[in-house]
Structure 1
């Protein structure tokens, strides 16, 4: 049996322990209790979450037989230092575990304990710059869902903890079990670690339904040319009105926004499939592979081949 210990402190994010459901359902799919989970804290007893909900914990101890330690994040990592007892434990004993992980701002706990020195790591995008400033010897990659560097695992914010837990299940029990767990948890997709934390549709965030409808139409039809006239028709506006309203609501021109959606779709296909780059370029509306490469260099500073290699 594989034992997982969650390290909690007052103000922890409830989403961190939501990832326990991934291991719970992995046991169901595997047909045996492969994972055993327990919550730990500096002194044991009840620990209060940021939501105000209390959770019972065991006192962290060197005698605890734990294979994977997972540090939960807090909403205010810059103002809420990790308990000294937890840091001392991780420095002294935690490294004996098979894996150590930080969910969301739990990465700050690992960094404070010195476990991320000269390693790649990620955290919630909002705190990535501050984390890099505080811990210059950590190689922060602020646009990743999760990162595995040897025995150290770190994830982006909130729901990315589910992806990290699912990746652990895949590592332990194989891709078929991981897919089945994702299906049972109604997770829309199993995101790879190299996938971006950001979503272009969320970033554009139009204020009106008519522009949102045009964007939804564009995303469903990226594989063919999309003109301003066509999108304006979906929004029931003249092309001139559409361009003006679109730019006012999203801060981007329609052409710029459509290229961003094509880039996001192409990147997802590169990360999640083995299709040739020529096929991906065609499916996502680029003229050819060269056109897609130019867009990748503008948008990501990397060619598509490098994105695939990193994944």
Structure 2
């Protein structure tokens, strides 16, 4: 069912399920899907943990959290490490949010048991906001709890979501989405940013920043921050090209040759080149260079990193090499682009004065 809400309404902040008396300002219950992603869960919990107390003492004073279970059996993560739940499913109204941490999408079995599904529906009926982390959006939709909502999925799982859930329009170009009382994120580091968003809302911006800084994350990112993923102009349904592009992205700071890509994939160099021509009308080398230049341009525009550091991060020999390639594609140097962005800001501040 399409969402007819205006964009401003869709991105309105979720409300807490009930006014909170003395005690933690933010209470979160976790449901872990089978073979859940440990990294996404740990990032979310650690933001809460670090925001909850002074220093790094981990006392659940300003925030509290618990792992809920229908059976109390340990839950195995995708990496093989198990987490022991702390409480059985109870009144969802005691929590400000119920968070579902998704698991691997490797078979057709439901990701959550019927007991979890009933509990999530009970929470929704009680007005408790629901959060889907990583493939947790799949679990919420399987439970019928995302109809009419925008939801965030990883660009890596975008096609999987479309195949399994007809009629929905998942968002895969943002790190998280807040749509009324449904919040979803793409997993990984984005779960830390979503948790920081909730801490900022309920506890305070200082506590949210503190958590991220201790976790060596520079600053909180807004929901519409793009996910790191394949360039939009390189979308393709060719599985060979998709795999090659993923390998390029994973090695963007230390570029590998087409021959190395072919060896890792078990294909020939000529075969990969032919698929790139047919699918994208370009060569693998040109696609890789475009990917690195697009990232460099994004970093020049959006970050405070030096051009020399951006060159290193994007796999160029040095800033001169980056500048030559940058000028060839964009008609100017990274330094000129950055200066051009700064000039209007200075002029507008002078006008205000």
TM-score (norm: length of structure 2): 0.59
The alpha carbon displacement at 1:178 in A equals 1.4
The alpha carbon displacement at 1:260 in A equals 4.6
C-alpha change, 1:86 and 1:182, in structure 2 (3 Å) is same
Contact preservation (8 Å) 1:266, 1:284: no
Q: Match of 2:74? A: 46
More moved, 159-168 vs 198-207: 198-207
C-alpha change, 1:143 and 1:259, in structure 2 (3 Å) is closer
C-alpha change, 1:251 and 1:27, in structure 2 (3 Å) is same
Contact preservation (8 Å) 2:100, 2:136: yes
Alpha-carbon separation, structure 2, partners of 1:98 and 1:139: 24
Q: Match of 1:146? A: 176
Match of 1:7 among 16, 31, 40: 31
Q: Which has the higher contact order (CA 8 A, sep 6+)?
A: 2
More moved, 199-208 vs 257-266: 199-208
SS at the partner of 2:27? strand
Q: Match of 2:296? A: 261
Alpha-carbon separation, structure 1, partners of 2:301 and 2:115: 46
Contact preservation (8 Å) 2:300, 2:334: no
Match of 1:167 among 197, 208, 221: 197
C-alpha change, 1:206 and 1:105, in structure 2 (3 Å) is closer
Contact preservation (8 Å) 1:155, 1:161: yes
The alpha carbon displacement at 1:283 in A equals 5.9
The Cα offsets for residues 28-87 of structure 1, whole Å up to 9 and x where unpaired, read as 249971111110123223222222222222322346722210001102265341212211
- Number of residues paired by the alignment? 243
SS at the partner of 2:197? helix
1:252 aligns with 2:287: yes
Contact preservation (8 Å) 1:44, 1:59: yes
Q: Match of 2:235? A: none
SS at the partner of 1:38? strand
C-alpha change, 1:45 and 1:205, in structure 2 (3 Å) is closer
Q: Match of 2:144? A: 114
SS at the partner of 1:190? coil
The alpha carbon displacement at 1:125 in A equals 1.6
Alpha-carbon separation, structure 1, partners of 2:96 and 2:127: 5
Contact preservation (8 Å) 2:209, 2:219: no
Alpha-carbon separation, structure 1, partners of 2:288 and 2:74: 52
Match of 1:67 among 79, 96, 106: 96
The Cα offsets for residues 185-214 of structure 1, whole Å up to 9 and x where unpaired, read as 111342221111116897283596799xxx
SS at the partner of 1:123? coil
The alpha carbon displacement at 1:101 in A equals 0.3
The alpha carbon displacement at 1:96 in A equals 2.1
Alpha-carbon separation, structure 1, partners of 2:162 and 2:62: 36
More moved, 149-158 vs 24-33: 24-33
Match of 1:28 among 31, 49, 53: 53
Alpha-carbon separation, structure 2, partners of 1:248 and 1:208: 19
1:1-311, aligned counterparts within 5 Å?
A: 1=24, 2-18=26-42, 19-29=44-54, 33-57=61-85, 58-62=87-91, 65-76=94-105, 79-81=108-110, 82-198=112-228, 203=249, 205=251, 250-252=285-287, 257-267=292-302, 285=337
Contact preservation (8 Å) 1:145, 1:156: yes
TM-score (norm: length of structure 1): 0.67
Alpha-carbon separation, structure 1, partners of 2:96 and 2:252: 46
The Cα offsets for residues 77-116 of structure 1, whole Å up to 9 and x where unpaired, read as 6534121221122123344254210100011111112221
SS at the partner of 1:183? helix
The Cα offsets for residues 232-276 of structure 1, whole Å up to 9 and x where unpaired, read as xxxxxxxxxxxxxxx97744375774355214542568xxxxxxx
